[in-house]
Amino acid sequence: MLRYKGIGATKRIAIGRVFRVPGTGVLHREDAADEILFSAEKEIEKLTNALEKSRQQIRDILQKIRNANPNDKSIDIIATQLDYFDDPSFNDDAVVLITSQRLGAAEAVRRQTRELCDTFNSFEDDPYMRERAADITDAGERIFNNISGFCADIPRTLPPDTVVVAHDLVPSQTAQLDLDHVLGFVTEAGGLTSHTAIMAHSMNIAAVVGCQDLLDKACDGDSIIVDAGKGLVVLRPDEVNLRTYEKLQAKDKVVWKSYDQVKYRRILRSGGGEILVAANIGSSREAELAKEQGANGVGLFRTEFLFLSRNEMPGEDEQYEAYRAVAKVFGDAPVTIRTLDIGGDKELPYLKIPREENPFLGMRAIRLCLHYPDIFKTQLRAILRAAVHGNLQIMFPLICRMEELKEARTLLQECMAALEEDGIPYKKDIAVGMMIETPATAILAREFAKEVDFFSIGTNDLTQYTLVVDRGNPLLSGLYDTMNPAVLRLIKFTIEAAHEVNITCCVCGEFAADPQALPLLVEYGLDEFSVGIDTIAETKAGLLGLVGLSAE
């Protein structure tokens, strides 16, 4: 019997049999061209043929998925690879590497893919953005394999009660699995927002990621226990552990059945008023998943993904379509779009942001948007236009000074005036809010509340800046505590300031889903909890367990 510790991506329990999906690791292996026989023309031809073969493979996979389930959540993820294969900047840059550096086609693809992955991984304070590198890896690895002749296909049919064990799972791999027979996923790589985690949330099954060194020890058919709530994996469990977990699994099923019974219900205060449980998302695909899980709206729509893995800023129409898609999913329910939140530690090829000694205190979020008003105004115009199709709201991140808020609102008014002049429909009365992420902003909450329609407290950054603790530093993890009295006082003060002028207040950090925090936040009068997709139903169930709240 072997025990492994990882990161629980869901909170389910699974008892099953191992099915191994070995990783190729090809993107981490250099593939130099033969200097003597090197021909740029032949290498470019290899690249062209591999791209076309990759396109056809993805089309075939998509067709199989649509035939089996037209509403499968993998469709949108995998379809984005076609854009990657057709991206002129990727293709042209790969050709340049072949011709100028005499690289083989496979190595050129590897380097281009790693460069894009590094861009996503540079988002040190945003695990969601870092995990998007997996999508890029999937596409790049497919091209690489088609150049080198490596076959990474896996069988579609799996036996019942399967637990998939892999180094990592990419979208095209899970698309080939018989998911009806899968009880759980365990991967050596990945994080809480990886494709594996998203798939596990969608299927409501057990998943543990970051479980290192498991693949070498596990064999197909081995018995395995996945306790995702504890991030624990037990390989080849003994009889005692097996019986213990069979009892825990039975209780687990009862708990999750109770969550299913409340996820679509509204949470009401006994004295009147509704508490919203909204979702944190990053795409229209996740919007659909959030609605299926019972979200009352979107409290945080991250827009950064639109701006990455490319060599130029997304145009107004492209952004408009992305925002409109989310608006249409939720209809009249509120969808809060956070404007671009990147900074000096996150490089975009088309923005020449100087390297900074301390990027978390530097040119980021609203500061960067105000420094590049053309980029900011393009996004604002797209949001204003898309808001006609639903109930979109605009939220400015990391506002620290009143002057920043006023300048942002001035640019918004300029966008409205330009759309009016051009005769383009837009939402004239769109709600405008701001995030409370620093002690300075929280202390001045009464003044800011008079200038906006809502507040949203980003408890992750608020805790970090209040306690002067890097939340990504494992050596300081014991110091990072949102339950610290100083942080709680700022949260309470912010909510009270909002209610004094009759505007709403939301919490969109991880704290909103913390069971220990729920009674405090309800006591403070919080109007909206915006949480991860997998914790929507659990948060509603937790709220309904508190005195003074009921469901409708």
* Confidence label for 241 from pLDDT (cuts 50, 70 and 90): very high
The dihedrals phi and psi of 28, each to the nearest 5 degrees, come to -105, 10
pLDDT of amino acid 128: 60
- Please check the confidence at residue 30 and state whether its pLDDT lies above 70: no
pLDDT of amino acid 103: 87
User: Tokens 């009880």 appear where?
Assistant: 183
Task: For residues 419-427, give the mean pLDDT.
Answer: 96
Where do runs of H (alpha helix) occur along 160-238?
Answer: 171-174, 195-203
pLDDT of amino acid 144: 85
Q: Out of 116-125, 126-135, 482-491, which region has the weakest mean confidence (pLDDT)?
A: 126-135
Where do runs of H (alpha helix) occur along 357-467?
Answer: 365-371, 373-386, 402-422, 439-443, 445-449, 459-467
Mean pLDDT of the chain: 85
- Please check the confidence at residue 454 and state whether its pLDDT lies above 90: yes
CA 512 – CA 506 distance, rounded (Å):
9
pLDDT of amino acid 147: 87
pLDDT of amino acid 227: 95
pLDDT of amino acid 348: 67
CA 259 – CA 16 distance, rounded (Å):
23
CA 375 – CA 204 distance, rounded (Å):
39
Beta bridge partners of 164: 19, 185
CA 173 – CA 196 distance, rounded (Å):
10
Question: Where would I find the beta strands (DSSP E) of 267-306?
Answer: 267-269, 274-281, 298-302
pLDDT of amino acid 61: 79
Write the pLDDT tens digit of every residue in 263-274: 889 999 988 889
Neighbour count for residue 493 (Cβ, 10 Å): 16
Closest CA to 326 of 289, 365, 380, 274: 289
**Residue 343 tokens, joined:** 């900074």
Neighbour count for residue 51 (Cβ, 10 Å): 22
CA 306 – CA 283 distance, rounded (Å):
9
Write the pLDDT tens digit of every residue in 138-172: 788 888 888 877 665 555 678 889 999 988 877 66
Task: For residues 363-389, give the mean pLDDT.
Answer: 94
* Confidence label for 256 from pLDDT (cuts 50, 70 and 90): confident
Write the pLDDT tens digit of every residue in 316-355: 999 999 999 999 999 999 999 999 988 655 566 677 776 7
* Confidence label for 126 from pLDDT (cuts 50, 70 and 90): low
CA 227 – CA 305 distance, rounded (Å):
31
Task: For residues 283-292, give the mean pLDDT.
Answer: 84
Q: For the chain, which residues make up each domain, given as ranges? A: 2-20+154-240, 26-148, 262-551
> Higher confidence at residue 119 or residue 371?
371
* Confidence label for 485 from pLDDT (cuts 50, 70 and 90): very high
Q: Tell me which of 369, 505, 506, 508 is the catalytic residue.
A: 508
Chain centre to alpha carbon of residue 76: 14
Beta bridge partners of 7: 209
pLDDT of amino acid 286: 82
Q: Out of 5-14, 220-229, 495-504, 522-531, which region has the weakest mean confidence (pLDDT)?
A: 5-14
CA 541 – CA 260 distance, rounded (Å):
9
- Please check the confidence at residue 542 and state whether its pLDDT lies above 70: yes
389 noted as active-site residue: no
Q: Tell me which of 195, 211, 369, 505 is the catalytic residue.
A: 195
Write the pLDDT tens digit of every residue in 68-102: 666 665 676 677 777 778 776 667 888 888 998 88
User: Tokens 């009464």 appear where?
Assistant: 446
Superfamily of chain region 262-551:
Phosphoenolpyruvate-binding domains (3.20.20.60)
- State how beta strands 528-531 and 274-281 pair: parallel
pLDDT of amino acid 153: 56
- Please check the confidence at residue 31 and state whether its pLDDT lies above 60: no
State which of 27-31, 114-118, 214-218 shows the largest mean pLDDT.
214-218
195 noted as active-site residue: yes
> Higher confidence at residue 121 or residue 486?
486
Q: What is the CA radius of gyration of the chain?
A: 24
Domain 2-20+154-240 has CATH 3.50.30.10: yes
State in words which class domain 26-148 has: mainly alpha
Q: What one-character DSSP code corresponds to residue 180?
A: G
State which of 24-33, 44-53, 140-149, 283-292 shows the largest mean pLDDT.
44-53
- State how beta strands 391-396 and 334-338 pair: parallel
- Please check the confidence at residue 254 and state whether its pLDDT lies above 70: yes
By the 10 Å C-beta count (0-12 exposed, 13-18 middle, 19+ buried), 112 is classed as buried
pLDDT of amino acid 452: 98
Strand order in the sheet with 206-209: 2-5, 232-235, 223-227, 13-21, 162-166, 182-187, 206-209, 7-8
**Of all residues in the chain, what percent carry a pLDDT higher than 90?**
45
Write the pLDDT tens digit of every residue in 35-63: 556 788 899 999 999 999 988 888 887 87
Cβ atoms of 54 and 182 closer than 8 Å: no
